[in-house]
A = this chain, B = another copy of it.
Amino acid sequence: MLRNSLKFSLVDKEKLKDSREKILKEIESGEIGYFHLSKIAKDTILQTREFVQKHKFKNLVVVGMGGSSLGVKAVVGLLEENYPNSPKIYFLDNLDSYSCKKVLDNIVFKDTLFIISSKTGTTIETISIFKYIVAKFSVLNLGENFIFITDKDSSLEKFGKECGVEIFHIPQNVGGRFSVFSAVGLVPFEMMGFDTLALIKGEEACKSDFLKDDFILQKAYHYATHRNAKINVVFSYLDKFESFNQWYVQLWAESLGKKKIYERVGLTPVGLIGSRDQHSFLQLIMDGIKDKTVTFLSVKASKNSEKIPNLKFAYMGSCDFVNGMGIDEVLNYQAQATMQAVVNEGVSVDSLEFDTLDEWHVGYLLSYYELLTSAVGAILGINTYDQPGVEIGKRILKNIILKG
């Protein structure tokens, strides 16, 4: 279970009617594919299981930019503690010489499956790293250690088919940043041994709550109509949320930064980790301009948490008040104390608390943020699903290199 507690004033249900209808229309139209991914999840899972039965690998290397790796990283980060015996998974998500070399120098090629993930099939960084891998290991038969995850009929698929590479499809109408419940995520999750069906059940539960309840819409309305707070902070209490935060940043920034005909619209995401960033960003939230909303994410303290031992050091008595407590327990008290301090400053706050971090809850969490993003976009009246602004730089790059 999870509890979402909104610590700001809610609006009349009547005000949410239009936005609810807009999103229902989006869902019913069938044009925005991510709403409907659970229907085809089983096919992807079966295809992956068949593949896994025939091929065993000790390492997985996901090569993918943005939406092709962020969601995978997020879920792996949240679940890997529960799966100590899964394959080791690495991510090549930047065109960085040192990072690529460091990962590839430390793996044995024949024990490794490379997952080349590119929706369009022609992402320049992904394909360049793919070429680098092929050359580094003098690969002769691509079919043995590579799979491709890409759109149907992309150039990458055509090339892969000629080389006997197994292809997994992303539905055309599912954008990269909304693709975590498609093959982009499900294929590596199955290979890691995660319970992907429970993940999908969590996603479906959130969609169903969204349709019958108002809490996501209330939050979306508050964010979309807040005159001053154009920065949205997610303050997650546990290191394992680090990659989830990055996934959220992409989802939010690419979806909600858009030009309308006469204006520019944009909400800026910031991902923080507690208690670490209480020693970094918190001062700005507390005393800076009130241009932020803050969501506190926390997980009920685990029984497996390590404990702070009951040691008393001379002169250090002021630190003994947490002695004997679970580390997770103190962390949650820190979340609670910080939230209270931020609320006292009059900042818009809500909290999202999870009983545990298993597949169901992770599926719910990611779906929650996808739906929240769609809802904010609908209320802002923008196209949540495109990213026209990033194309220009790609064209300039080609020009600089080709024309010198």
- Mark contacts of A83-99 with chain B using CB atoms, 8 A cut-off: 1 yes-contact digit, 0 otherwise: 00000000001111111
Assess whether A29 is interfacial by the CB under 8 Å rule: no
- Mark contacts of A380-398 with chain B using CB atoms, 8 A cut-off: 1 yes-contact digit, 0 otherwise: 0000000111101110111
Residues of B within 8 A of A176 (CB): 279
Assess whether A401 is interfacial by the CB under 8 Å rule: yes
Determine which of B131, B264, B288, B400 lies in contact with A333 in the assembled complex, contact meaning CB atoms within 8 Å.
Answer: B400
Smallest Cβ-Cβ distance to A231: which chain B residue = B268
Contacting pair B131 A275 (CB below 8 A): no
CB distance from A346 to the nearest CB of B (A): 11
Residues of B within 8 A of A225 (CB): none
Do A316 and B156 form a contact, CB below 8 Å, given A239-B99, A281-B253? Answer: yes
Contacting pair B265 A288 (CB below 8 A): yes
Contacting pair B162 A319 (CB below 8 A): no
Assess whether A65 is interfacial by the CB under 8 Å rule: yes
- Mark contacts of A266-307 with chain B using CB atoms, 8 A cut-off: 1 yes-contact digit, 0 otherwise: 111010011110111111111111111000000000101111
A contacts with B: majority SS: helix
CA distance A99 to B274 in the complex (A): 13
Q: Number of contacting residues on A, CB 8 A? A: 114
Contacting pair A288 B257 (CB below 8 A): yes
CA distance A81 to B105 in the complex (A): 14
Contacting pair B159 A314 (CB below 8 A): yes
Smallest Cβ-Cβ distance to A282: which chain B residue = B390
Contacting pair A287 B266 (CB below 8 A): yes
Instruction: List 24 A-B pairs, Cβ < 8 Å.
Output: A93-B276, A96-B238, A97-B304, A97-B306, A97-B327, A100-B306, A122-B318, A127-B313, A155-B315, A158-B314, A159-B316, A231-B231, A250-B281, A253-B288, A254-B284, A257-B283, A257-B287, A264-B287, A265-B288, A266-B284, A268-B284, A321-B398, A334-B397, A338-B393
